[in-house]
Amino acid sequence: MAGLLKKPFKLALIQLASGGDKAANLAHARSKVVEAAKAGASMIVLPECFNSPYGCQYFPKYAETILPSPPSKEKSPSWHMLSSVAAETKTYLVGGSIPEYVPETKEYFNTSLVFGPSGKLLATHRKVHLFDIDIPGKIKFKESDVLSPGNKVTIIDLPDYGKIGLAICYDVRFPELAMIAARKDAFMFVYPGAFNTTTGPMHWSLQARARAMDNQIFVAMCSPARDMEASYHAYGHSMVVNPNAEVLTEAEEHEDIVYAEIDGSKIEETRKGIPIYTQRRFDVYPDVSTGKVRFEDESSGVQS
Ligand SMILES: NC(=O)CC(=O)C(=O)O
Q: Is the CB of 156 under 6 A from ligand 1?
A: no
Pocket test for ligand 1, best of 128, 168, 195 (most atoms within 8 A of CB): 195
Q: 186-192 and 162-166 as β-strands: parallel, antiparallel, unpaired? A: parallel
Nearest to 263 by CA among 240, 235, 232, 295: 240
Q: Active site includes 169?
A: yes
- CA–CA dist 184, 176 (Å, integer): 12
Q: Is the pTM of this model over 0.80?
A: yes
CB 188 within 8 A of CB 164: yes
| Structural domains of the chain, with CATH | 9-275 (3.60.110.10)
Question: If you average pLDDT over every residue of the chain, what do you get?
Answer: 96
Cα 101 from chain centre: 19
Residue type, 154: T
What confidence tier does 1 reach under pLDDT thresholds 50, 70, 90? very low
Closest CA to 64 of 96, 95, 97, 100: 100
- Residue from 109, 140, 170, 211 whose mutation best tests the ligand 1 pocket (most atoms within 8 A of CB): 170
In Å, how far are 35, 45, 107, 287, 295 from 168, measured between CA atoms? 24, 12, 18, 23, 16
Residue 2's pLDDT band (cuts 50, 70, 90): very low
**pLDDT at 297 (0 to 100):** 77
Which pLDDT score is estimated for 296?
85
Does ligand 1 have an atom closer than 6 angstroms to the CB of 204? Answer: no
Give the pLDDT confidence of 64-76 residue by residue, as tens digits.
Answer: 999 999 999 999 9
State pLDDT tens for residues 98-125: 999 999 999 999 999 999 999 999 999 9
d(CA 251, CA 245): 17
Measured from the CB, is residue 128 less than 6 Å from ligand 1?
A: no
**Ligand 1 atom nearest to CA at 202:** 9
**What is the tens place of the pLDDT at every residue in 187-244?**
999 999 999 999 999 999 999 999 999 999 999 999 999 999 999 999 999 999 999 9
What ipTM did this prediction achieve? Answer: 0.98
Ligand 1 neighbour 196 (Cβ under 6 A):
yes
Mean pLDDT across 140-167: 98
What is the DSSP annotation of 174-204?
-THHHHHHHHTTEEEEEEE---BTTHIIIII
Q: What is the mean pLDDT of residues 280-303?
A: 83
Report the DSSP pairing between strands 218-222 and 186-192: parallel
- Tell me how far the alpha carbon of residue 149 is from its chain's centroid: 15
